Structure 1
Amino acid sequence: MDLTYRQQAILKAVVEEFTRTAQPIGSKSLIPFLGISISSATIRNELAVLEKVGLLEKTHTSSGRVPSLKGYRYYVENLMELSLDDSIQQGLRQVFSRRHCSLEDVIATSCSILAEMTHLTSMVIEPDKSRQTLIRLSLIPVNQTQAVAVVVTSTGQTEHRMFNFSSDLSIEDLKECTDLLNDQLHGVPIDQLVEKLEEIRPTLAANVSRHEVLFEAFISASLGFATHESKVYGRANMLAQPEFADAAKLQTLMKVLENESLFHEWTGMPGNICTRIDQRNELIQIGDCSVISAKFDTGPGEQGQLMVVGPSRMPYAQVIALMDYMSEQIEKMFGPRLEGVQDEQKSDKEET
């Protein structure tokens, strides 16, 4: 759709002002935001044109206009300007410069920041972990009758389970069991780990007495990698949005966000409009809701998604700029390119 420069400026101003105020926009209120010399009569004419082509809508309670779903899409595809203030970038760099953080920690931090800075609800669908391999099984004693079984993968992701054992089972017995499991299972793909554990159960029973409690703990921890539950942050932010003032509607939305299968059904419903913004970002419009997603890669075949959910009236430029930055940082820390960098550094050291 071809718009004149003036029409684009007016549409951009309407979207951004309506996002800020949640109030229909009249012609006179737009004049300070256009940056061009134009009369309110001319603005009214252009608003009528934008309404005629379906980019704006006129509410029944006011002579002002609001963006249509089509108008939001046009804005996202053609008009929004992505940028992050230097102070915001500096603060985010400090967060992402922390070392010794797991992928789960970094993702959780990213989602918390997204929810806080956008005043919307954020969520994550974590990468598929099945292609990772086992690096080690660890045992961390807590006291004389409790310990934590930890499974660590090739990308540094972990699952752990607390378990209890009787006083006649020593830490030495548990350590012997752990050492044997590590010897047999190192490098096994995560999606084969439970099967391999079952295969070596007889060997373990023959070499380590009273091994069952630790064996079951590692089985339980390994199964944790098969779960892909979505995690939601900033639920309370929905309460501040006038579009979700209906308690029943809000409750239904929260149920959808809490259940990954329901969420996929919701975002895949017929009638939804999906717009690819670029290679990383996507906009899904579902009624008067919008979902912005940003993909990130953490390894071959391992892709996760950060998402922000809110009303169609959301600050798209701010949301997408934040999600772009965070996805890039996650990939720098955990993405497939990291292995190549480490290999090059190792090779350089060996040559010197």
Structure 2
Amino acid sequence: MELTQRQKIIFKTIVDEFTRCAEPVGSKTLMKLLDFPVSSATIRNEMAVLEKVGLLEKTHTSSGRVPSQKGYRYYVENLMETNLDANVKHSLQQVFSERHYSLDEVVEKSCDILSHMTNLTSIVLGPDSRSQKLQHVQLIPISEKSAVGIIVTDQGHTENKVFDFGTEVSVQDIKTCTDLLNDQLVGTPISEVVDKMKEIEPLMAAKVVRHEVLFEAFVTAFMRFATEKVKVSGRSNMLYQPEFSDLNKLKELMAVLESSSLFHQWTDQKDNVAIQIDQRNELLQIGDCSVVTTKFHYNNDEEGQLMVVGPNRMQYSKVVALMDYMSSVIEDVFAQKGGGNDDEQKE
């Protein structure tokens, strides 16, 4: 569809105003907002054209108009301007450069910042390590009852964990266990390591005195490593969106946000409409909800996603600008830290 320049300005103004205040926008309001002189009758005529081509809709409760799903898509693809305030950029840089963050900490902090700054629900998916293969295991004693375990995959993903055994474990046991795991498990997909460990448990029992303690510690570590890294923040923000005043609709959305499997089913429905904004950002429309996704790279081989979930009436320009810049900051942090090694992570 080809709009005139005036129609584009009027439509963009309607979208910007409606996403800000959630109230249908009428001709009198537009007369005050537009920075060029135009009569109320002319505005109404232009709004009628925009409604005819499917970009605007009438509401039952007002003479004003609201953007349609198609209208939001047109706005995102053709009219959206994504500028982020310099102070916000500086604040984000400061947050992530304060110290060395592990992957899990970055996922959690990014999620909290997104939900706070957008007043919507944010979801961050960390890189999925389950399909990667184990390349190396190392266990370094730090006391008689604790050690640092290092897990490295064939794609360079490294995670560290401090093991508190609760009892004394000898240096010899630690060395024997490490040698055994490297001999038996290297090349095994991360998702299969726990099952493989159960197979070699008798061998470990025969060679390692405190094998129960070490076996349990590594099984727990690998189970956590193979779990999809998902963080959700700001679910309660949906309570304040007028689009979800219907209690049943709200309950359904909350159930989806509580379950990663339900969320994947929800976003994979065949009726969903996906709009590629640019190489990094995408808009997914699911009924009267929208999901904006932005990719970030943890290293050369691993990818994560930032997501913001809300009503179709969200401030797309602000949301996309924030997510795009945040993903760049995250990538810069991990590039400076040598690819995201989690050498300071403790649990």
- For normalisation by structure 1, the TM-score amounts to 0.85
Range with bigger deviation, 325-334 or 305-314: 325-334
String of CA shifts for 1:271-306, please: whole Å, max 9, x gaps: 211111111111111111100011122235422211
Query: Which deviations, in whole Å up to 9, do the C-alpha atoms of 1:223-278 show, x marking residues without a partner?
Result: 21221153210111111111111222212111111211111111111221111111
Letter in 1 for 2:223: L
Q: Distance in 2 between matches of 1:304 and 1:324?
A: 13
The DSSP-based 3-state class of the residue aligned with 1:76 is helix
Would you say 1:171 and 2:158 are equivalent positions?
Answer: no
Shift of 1:185: 4.4
Is 1:232 aligned to residue 232 of structure 2?
yes
C-alpha contact 1:297 1:336 (8 A) present in aligned 2 = no
Structure 1 residue aligned with 2:320: 320
Shift in CA distance, 38/296, structure 1 to aligned 2, threshold 3 Å: same
Number of residue equivalences: 330
Counterpart position of 1:207: 207
Given the superposition, is the C-alpha separation of residues 289 and 267 from structure 1 closer, same or farther in structure 2, using an over 3 Å criterion? Answer: same
| Structure 1 pair 268–160 and aligned structure 2 pair: CA distance change class (3 A) | farther
Amino acid at match of 1:25: V
Deviations along 1:115-165, one digit per CA (max 9) or x if unpaired, are 000000001222111326445335666x97xx5774544434345676555
Match of 1:181 in 2: 177
Q: Contact 1:114/1:323 (CA < 8 Å) preserved in 2? A: yes
In the alignment, the residues of structure 1 paired with residue 29 and residue 142 of structure 2 have an alpha-carbon distance, to the nearest angstrom, of: 64
One-letter code aligned to 2:233: Y
Alpha-carbon offset, residue 214 of structure 1: 1.6
- Please name the residue that 2:22 is paired with: 22
Contact 2:82 2:318 in 1 (8 A): yes
Q: Distance between the aligned counterparts of 2:46 and 2:161, measured in 1?
A: 58
Conservation of the 8 A alpha-carbon contact between 1:7 and 1:50: yes
The one-letter code matched in structure 1 to 2:207 is N
Q: Is the 8 A contact 1:296 1:328 kept in 2?
A: yes
Asked if residue 244 in structure 1 is aligned to residue 244 in structure 2, the reply is yes
Deviates more, 1:258-267 or 1:147-156: 147-156
1:332-352 Cα distance to aligned partner (Å, 9 max, x none): 23369956xxxxxxxxxxxxx
State the one-letter code of the partner of 2:211. Answer: H
Q: TM-score, normalised by structure 2?
A: 0.86
Distance 2:325 2:60 in 1: 40
- Letter of the aligned partner of 1:180 in structure 2? T
Letter in 2 for 1:177: D
Report whether the alignment pairs 1:66 with 2:52: no
Distance in 1 (alpha carbons) for counterparts of 2:52 and 2:210: 77
Residue in 2 that maps onto 1:91 = 91
- Structure 2 Cα separation of the partners of residues 40 and 162 of structure 1: 72
Structure 1 residues 1-352: aligned runs within 5 Å: 1-130=1-130, 131=132, 133=134, 134=136, 136-138=138-140, 150-153=149-152, 154-158=156-160, 164-165=166-167, 170-172=168-170, 175-185=171-181, 190-191=190-191, 193-194=193-194, 197-198=197-198, 201=201, 204-228=204-228, 230-334=230-334
* Contact 1:104/1:157 (<8 A) preserved: no
Structure 1 residue identity aligned to 2:173: C
Query: In structure 2, the residue corresponding to 1:299 is in which secondary structure?
Result: coil
Structure 1 Cα separation of the partners of residues 133 and 13 of structure 2:
48
Output one character per residue of 1:180-231: Cα deviation in whole Å (capped at 9) or x when no partner. 3334546756456436645654554343213222212211211212211532
What is the distance in 2 between the residues matched to 1:278 and 1:160?
41
Contact 2:123 2:306 in 1 (8 A): yes
Partner of 1:350: none
**Matched residues in 2 for 1:337 and 1:49: separation?**
54
8 A Cα contact 2:169 2:210, kept in partner: no
Counterpart secondary structure, 2:89: helix
Query: 1:171 is paired with a residue of what secondary structure?
Result: coil
Give the superposition deviation at 1:179: 2.6
| Identical-residue share of aligned pairs (%) | 53
The structure-2 alpha-carbon separation of the partners of 1:215 and 1:52, relative to structure 1 and needing over 3 Å to count, comes to same
Answer whether contact 2:193 2:222 (CA < 8 A) is retained: yes
**Contact 2:28 2:40 (8 Å CA) reproduced:** yes
Higher RCO (CA 8 Å, separation ≥ 6 residues): 2
2:298 partner SS: strand
In 2 relative to 1, CA 31–138 (structure 1 residues): closer, same or farther, beyond 3 Å? farther
**How large is the Cα RMSD of the aligned pairs?**
2.6
- Does structure 2 retain, via aligned residues, the 8 Å contact 1:19–1:315? yes
The amino acid of 2:111's aligned partner reads: C
Counterpart residue identity of residue 171, structure 1? V
Structure 1 unmatched ranges of 5 or more? 340-352
Residues 3 and 214 of structure 1: is their aligned pair in 2 closer, same or farther, counting only changes over 3 Å? same
